[in-house]
A and B are shown apart, each in its own frame.
Chain A
Amino acid sequence: MNPLPGPHAPSTAPSSAPAQHAEVRVVATEPGGEPATLGPAALFIVFSRMALVGFGGVMPFAYRTLVERRRWVSAQDFASMLALAQVLPGPTICNLSLMIGWRFAGLRGALASLSGMLAGPIAIVLLLGYAYQRFGDIALVHDALVGMGAVAAGLLLSTAVKMALAVFAKERGFASTASTAVIAVAAFAGVGLLRYSLIVVVLVLAPPAIFLAWRQLK
């Protein structure tokens, strides 16, 4: 009954994933096809790396690393974990780190992923905060920040576009594709254009979305 991903051994049993529904349980492979070792230490290192390159938010980098490069999770799995991470209270990226860490190595994995996500960035923020106190604001720094901010905003949007492309590439049949599109567009419009609260949008859209998915499952 519960949608949250449970922990289980990632390395074995290449799942013959049912074509339609993202039942892709974890098959952790490096790009070369080698099974990855995913103990807490490995999770800590990978999440640290993602966090330390994650300028302007880690989500785009998490998607790139976990889905595109290492293929630890499928685009569909990432999207459904992301949805839960967004709905639960707390920073989305922290919830997502906990879920992915938990899936591979239980509680220790969850804590390792979250610590990796936070340790390096906290040190950097403190260093920069110290530098700011010492050196004040310099025009050059300000100008650079404006340009970086514009790119960072594009980064987040591009992750949404890529995720949408991956999701629609897996859709089969007109009715299913159309209902997926309607729900995605409604979620975008509700929060992005009409500025309704995210909670309201999720509460309104989730029941029909889940009902439609339920009907399509055999």
Chain B
Amino acid sequence: MPSSRFPIPQGTLDMLILQILSLEPAHGYGIAQRLEQISKSVVQVNQGSLYPALHRLEQRGWLKADWKESETGREAKFYSLTRSRAQAAPL
């Protein structure tokens, strides 16, 4: 599907994810929804690049993840900022 929105510049997705998670922990789907809201008119976030980005940030030690019960009652993987990242905020 063609889109008039810009493809997302390198590194922006990471920043957006960190920004979203600085408010509260969220699972991948929640982050995707937020991204959609934030970026609707500006940039096009490919949903497929969200999970690689999350895992990259987790690998780098910026995010940590726990399995917790989500709002639907099912277990979901919740991401949150690690302590060192939280102290570095606001971004």
Q: Do A and B come from the same complex?
A: no
Q: Which residues of A contact B (CB under 8 A)?
A: none
Q: Which residues of B contact A (CB under 8 A)?
A: none
